[in-house]
Amino acid sequence: MMLRYTLTHRPTLSALASLGHGSKVLVADGNYPFATAMNPRAELVHLNWRPGLLDVDEVLTTLLDAVPFDAATVMTPPPDAPVAAHDGYRRILGPDVPLGTLDRFAFYDAVRAPETGLVIATGDQRSHANLLLEVGFVAAR
């Protein structure tokens, strides 16, 4: 095995290879409106084999092994409805990747923007489990 990371899914690797610093990657839950709320030029990769498989946490953990991220954004939950997924994202991303929030329609607009080059559909059944990631850079060696 020549790869230094665990990501081996060819369509995802191909899409990531076409992105650069500042590009965006959406890892979406199973409720996300893919047909109406994404950049039409973005690559859509389906990893939603069935409800509950794969979830956003599993995809995020694998992506972090292969790609640096500068920032992340989640969809603001309804009032008095904390989203457990968001706490998990903070833990997985660690202290160096800030986690911001956008209301639902601003989040959709951000995903529709030209910077979004990859959208990954998961089978995550949690509400508001969508995560928009901003690709970082790899320092010269």
pLDDT digits (tens, 9 = 90+) for 85-111: 999 999 999 999 999 999 999 999 999
Under DSSP, is residue 60 helix (H, G, I), strand (E, B) or coil?
helix
Please give the model's pTM, rounded to 2 decimal places: 0.94
In tens, the pLDDT along 27-37 reads: 999 999 999 99
Angle at 3 between CA 12 and CA 62, to 5 degrees: 45
How does pLDDT run across 2-31, given as a tens digit for each residue?
Answer: 577 889 999 999 999 999 999 999 999 999
Terminal Cα-to-Cα distance of the chain (whole angstroms): 22
- Phi then psi for residue 2, to 5 deg, are -95, -20
Tell me the pairing of strands 99-102 and 116-121: unpaired
Return phi, psi of residue 76, to 5°: -60, 130
Helix or strand or coil: residue 59? helix
Element (H, E) at 88: helix 84-93
pLDDT in tens, 42-81: 999 999 989 988 999 999 999 999 999 999 999 998 888 8
Q: Quick one: pLDDT band at residue 135, thresholds 50, 70, 90?
A: very high
